[in-house]
Amino acid sequence: MKMVKSLILGSAAALVAMSGAQAADLPVKAKAVEYVRICSLYGAGFFYIPGTDTCIKLGGYLRVDTTFNGNIYDGPAWAADLGQGNRYRDYFAARSRMALTIDTRTATEYGVVRTFGQGDFQFSTQGASSATVNPTNFTNSPSIGTSTGLFNGPGEGYVAVEMVFIQFAGFTFGKSASAYATPWHGYPGNNTSFLLGGHDTVTGVNNIQYTAQFGNGVSGTIGLDDPTVFNRTTVANLTVPPTAIGQIANTYAGVRAPDVVGNIRVDQAWGLFQISAAAHEVSGSYNVLNAVAAPAGAVGIAGGAATGLSEINGHPDAKWGGSVMAALQIKNIPTGAGDDFKIDASYAKGDTKNVISSSNASPNPFAMFSGTGRAGAYQSVGFGAVTDAVFLPAFAGGDGSLHLTTAYGVRGAFNHNWDPYWSTSLFGSYSMVRYDDTAKLFTCAAYTAGKVVTADFTCNPDFNVAQIGLVTRWTPVKNLTFSAEVLGVFLDQKFTGAATLTPTAPKPTAFYEFKDQSTVSLNIRAQRNF
């Protein structure tokens, strides 16, 4: 019995010792994991940044675009090698882009503090942005006009910055859409980034603006925009001769004042109505500038560049121009669920970029060549120069004043959903550029000087541009869309007759008939949003 008792007590002691050893080997209890929390305050996709009260949303898209007989993003063949139709043009151009967006929001006693940014990682067909692939423009050749920093060689590419801004207590600071813009910018229903007829700052412009909400869907915004990049075309000193295709050296002065812009907007269940206005200062640099540019390959200064005589010979007085735009969207129209109609109409004086606009630079000039039936003519040509103003100094026989250019435009689209997977948009625009009688007199005198013209020749720098297009989209699964777009462009120029011209090479010096021109392009796109 005594032996059994000793055995039991020894076993118990051993078990206690083993338990202690195992307990000593157990890991220390881990700290609680802080899991990501969904933020439902600002819509789907937001979550809290761990350890903060700030919500963040990551998003973007991947887009692959190919345009036939045009530039990237369905840019029409209306200038440079594409407009000439020469052997340097590409028959198609492509761009692959991945856009990444970061949207952060924090609730404060002053309202929501928001930051937003978008970067576009992209690779384009060489020369697509300039509509030329002439090899001499993409080498280390010493010729004037050479460009080597294009970021589209093998394994290259670049990052473009779109919107980057802060919003706080009704204010917006940074690179954002202008207060002048409509919500759809230049995209009432199209893929093309080149639908003219109105304002387009879809990629943002440096600005400061304030938005007030008046209730019942009524709001007002006022802002100051930097016009340097997006809202200047050309101020032309006509002592610098226009080229054969009407291109005029840009002799704008430096920026002295921001554009003052604003809108009044009504958002309702039926749609949207908006009135926008902008004031824009137009100023020329100097009366005396270098008139004749150094030829290609030579050393010298460009036409329109300053000389030692520029400052002492004065300049034209600056003038204020501006523009207005009315926009309308009608939703829930009876043609189908989700269908809508968008339209905007614009008028500008001295602010032509708010009519002849794209998300990048305006075509300047339009210059298109095609065949001719006129006896003795080599080809036909149509062109149109885009300006904010022209002037001719008094010493050259002018009045020394800026003559502001007038422009009108309208654009719109009807968007129809056939079913949840297929949709079609019919879109178009019509734009007009007009010069006053004095501006025409000065411009035509400068253009025709030294040219041989036919008896039926007339000079008129006015022009119109019409566009019509159709795009059909297929969305087989959510956020993945394939689309095809056909775009027609029609240039209605106002010159008549024919003249001996020396266009940009490889075009020869020859007799050219002045004639309206047109072009058609096809764009194919695949896009995945995330």
The model's pLDDT over 170-208, given as tens digits with 9 standing for 90+, comes to: 999 999 999 999 999 999 999 999 999 999 999 999 999
Angle at 40 between CA 37 and CA 46, to 5 degrees: 65
Task: Supply the pLDDT for residue 22.
Answer: 45
Task: Supply the pLDDT for residue 2.
Answer: 47
The rounded distance, in Å, linking the Cα atoms of 81 and 85 is 6
Q: Give the tokens for residue 496.
A: 């008549």
Overall size of the chain counted in residues: 530
Angle at 79 between CA 73 and CA 81, to 5 degrees: 95
The rounded distance, in Å, linking the Cα atoms of 439 and 11 is 114
Task: Supply the pLDDT for residue 21.
Answer: 44
Task: Supply the pLDDT for residue 129.
Answer: 56
Residue 386: strand, helix, or coil: coil
pTM check: above 0.75: yes
Q: Which run of H or of E encompasses 17?
A: helix 2-25
Domain range summary for the chain, segments of one domain joined by +:
36-529
Task: Supply the pLDDT for residue 292.
Answer: 80
The class of domain 36-529 in CATH terms is: mainly beta
Backbone φ, ψ for residue 135 (5° rounding): -55, -30
Strands 422-434 and 75-76: unpaired
Task: Supply the pLDDT for residue 8.
Answer: 41
Mean pLDDT (the chain, rounded) = 90
The rounded distance, in Å, linking the Cα atoms of 428 and 469 is 6
Task: Supply the pLDDT for residue 30.
Answer: 57
Q: Give the tokens for residue 457.
A: 């020749």
Task: Supply the pLDDT for residue 185.
Answer: 96
CB atoms within 10 A of CB 334: 5
CB atoms within 10 A of CB 273: 17
The rounded distance, in Å, linking the Cα atoms of 496 and 38 is 67
Mean pLDDT by 10 residues, the chain (530 residues): 45 44 51 76 95 96 97 93 92 95 96 97 76 60 49 78 96 98 97 96 96 97 95 96 93 97 98 98 97 69 90 98 98 94 98 91 90 97 97 97 98 97 98 98 96 97 98 98 98 98 95 98 98
Neighbouring residues of 437: CB distance < 8 A, sequence distance ≥ 6: none
